[in-house]
Structure 1
Amino acid sequence: MQFVSAYAELKAQVAAWTSLSDPILHTHLGMLVFVATAVLLRKPFRSPIPLLMVTLFEALNECLDRINHGSWRWPNTLSDVAFTLVWPILIFLLARARKLRAG
């Protein structure tokens, strides 16, 4: 349980340090994980691996939030997931469509 509390505190400190809202942080961190995974693993954006990593990180984040708060906060959880995944999904789909047209 100490890990969950420490994680929640770290998130609060990052939000305070950056002065960014929660939706903006989710958007930027989702893109960071997506691009970093593609670069580090040398995978194209059309590969499902970067998108899977973003999804896994966001799922873990929301599970830790649930443990920290003691219950699901569905409106918050669903908006967090949407803000985190919307751009990686769009880039993934565009890269896949481009590959299909080119190939």
Structure 2
Amino acid sequence: MQIVHLYKSLIDDVVAWGGSASLLHVHVGMAIYLAVLMAVRQRRAGMIALQVVLAAELGNEVMDWLNASPDWTWSDTVSDFALTLLWPVATTAVLAWRRRRWRTSVAIMARSGAIPLPAKRHVPIAIT
């Protein structure tokens, strides 16, 4: 339980220094998302980064629950999840939509003959 109290005091110091706890959820969620995107250089990096943000927020909420179990409320937890995951989910959705749209346009161009296909007749896939 000492770790929980240490974590809570550290978070309280960050909130005192940085301002609103709600705003910090938004910023930290997006910062974690972008850091993981830069670290993981794969096509599915957006989903991996989103999972890391979700895991970090779950860990944060468990620590909040352990520290303040009588004062803990579902509304605070749901609000924290929504604020933390809002922009990472939106960014992942846009990236997936653009990737799907790009694949569709490449497939249409390949069928029309504008892009020569290799001998295997596979449509090229984006490498992001």
TM-score interval, normalised by the smaller of the two chains:
over 0.9
- Give the fraction of aligned pairs with identical amino acids, expressed as a percent: 35
Q: CA RMSD in A?
A: 1.4
Q: Bigger CA drift: 42-51 or 61-70?
A: 42-51
Report the count of equivalent residues. Answer: 102
Instruction: Find the aligned partners of 1:44 and 1:82 in 2 and give their Cα distance.
Output: 26
Shift of 1:73: 1.2
2:21 equivalent in structure 1? 22
Distance 1:46 1:99, change over 3 A: farther
TM-score, with structure 1 as normaliser: 0.93
Instruction: Find the aligned partners of 2:43 and 2:11 in 1 and give their Cα distance.
Output: 29
TM-score, with structure 2 as normaliser: 0.75
- Secondary structure, counterpart of 1:47 in structure 2: helix
Q: Which runs of 5+ in 2 are unaligned?
A: 104-128
Give the structure, 1 or 2, with the largest relative contact order (CA under 8 Å, sep 6 or more): 1
Q: Which structure shows the higher helix fraction?
A: 1
Instruction: Find the aligned partners of 2:43 and 2:13 in 1 and give their Cα distance.
Output: 33
Q: Which runs of 5+ in 1 are unaligned?
A: none
